[in-house]
Chain A
Amino acid sequence: MIEVNNVSKEFKVYTRPSGFINTVKSAFWREHKIKRAVTNICFNIEPGELVGYVGPNGAGKSTTIKMLSGILTPSAGDIRVLGIVPYKQRMKNAKNIGVVFGQRSQLYWDLPVRDSFVLHEKMYDIPKPIFKDNVKLFTEILQMEEFIDQPVRQLSLGQKMRANLAIALLHNPPVIYLDEPTVGLDIVAKAAIREFIKEINKMQKTTVIITTHDMTDIEEICQRLILIDKGQLYYDGDLHFFKQQYGGDYVITIQVKSNSINPQHPMLSVVEKEANRIVIKGNSAELSLVDAIDFYNRNYEIIDIGIKESSIESILRDIYTGSIQMQQ
């Protein structure tokens, strides 16, 4: 459904001129460097997939989304979204996609949200019954009743973002791109947005690509993870597999009835130890979590147990800072 083959994007980055002559000249020509924002990226996405597209700031996420939505033309490689080349057939592509940029708004400042919706109805030629149903449904799931008739300039960030999400989906696009849709929002707004994305995906088999720095978004919404850094693809695959392969660390706190814990498993290391309580650390590549617990369960009578697995967040932090090495 979405095919990205060997796509790269370069930008010319200009230096600021100084002096009058240079300023005049600089309107037409300036010293520049080539900045590679995205390098040789490939992936394929099937209908209905929920894909998390993550990477540190400046990794090239937004640039990729912009190429997928037809805003930017790739410097090399080719992209097809439902068989369409986005930057060549922009208008046709626009009908198939919904885009939300967390940093920008699609709404019209002076208009009430409802009027912005009507504008989209005309623009996308949405059939009346579909439009009505969608407005009703979205208003409900995103809890927009209280502000749908207010001018956009009076809305809070969270309200605006909900309205932006709704407007991007009014025409039932088979594909949506969400670029940091939860940035700066409170927990309630975030939860509403996650709920909405999952609901729409379930109802309409909408394909979703989402970028975010909040790993809870990814864990709650996505099945698949694509990781890029410095414009290059580092991981593309199942989210659980990613956790197992790169995380897999776990910490178990066990409290037992007897007064001394002695036998130790060679694959587990002890973090802390008291008379009847032990904190151990393991990695599922060496010994699965279940086996680790089973080992203690066979030898002791466990009264309490606490488990902490490494989160996507902690794995990514380790990757970004270089303490986990990945091969491309």
Chain B
Amino acid sequence: MRRLIEIWPDSGRDEFALVIDRRRRHRVLIVPPLLAEMNRMRRLVATTMRALDVHGIDSFAPDLPGTNESAAPLFSQSLHTWRTAMERAARHFTATHVLAVRGGALIFPNVLPGWVLEPVSGAAILRQMVRARVVAARERGDHEDSATLIETGRTEGLMLSGYDLGPGLIAGLETARPLDEGQRQIHQSELGGAALWLRAEPGDDPAQAVRLADIIAGGISA
């Protein structure tokens, strides 16, 4: 059986996942990067899944509630709700391994063996998004400063790069550290080519996806 989009149950609501499932032994849950970085890396994730399929490995990339196709409100999400959702997805898809990408390392089920690709702190993600807002304000001739914005965000939430982030998520990001516990860290230099999460326009790099899938397949068969 092979289906591309599958529904999985989160608390009280269905969510979607991109899925390549042939009921095989090795099943990798892919926990995506957060927010803006997720858009930039969506194609890399999908291409990696196809490359894993060639290696005989099933994979699952669930939407984080409140993002992508999800009907849940983003504003009510927090790192905790995302963590819980990823645990549920891991159980639903009976994942045997996990690949967390960038900010995905803040919310992935770290009881599974697997890999963490260039993990990033919550503070770094937040700082970049707040900075984008400060720069945009300056272009309009307005003034906003990061410290005040974050303080407001902590109590009222904050609109950043078109994402309506609630106070829970802002507060969580401020202190969150990657959760990897024995998972193998993969560095961008191992994939060759430029980091796609830096790319202003979402891009693709099939060669990187093939290398990433090779590392995962090599780790599983080792």
Our verdict on whether A and B bind, yes or no, reads no
Q: Could you list which residues of chain A lie within 8 angstroms of chain B, going by C-beta atoms? A: none
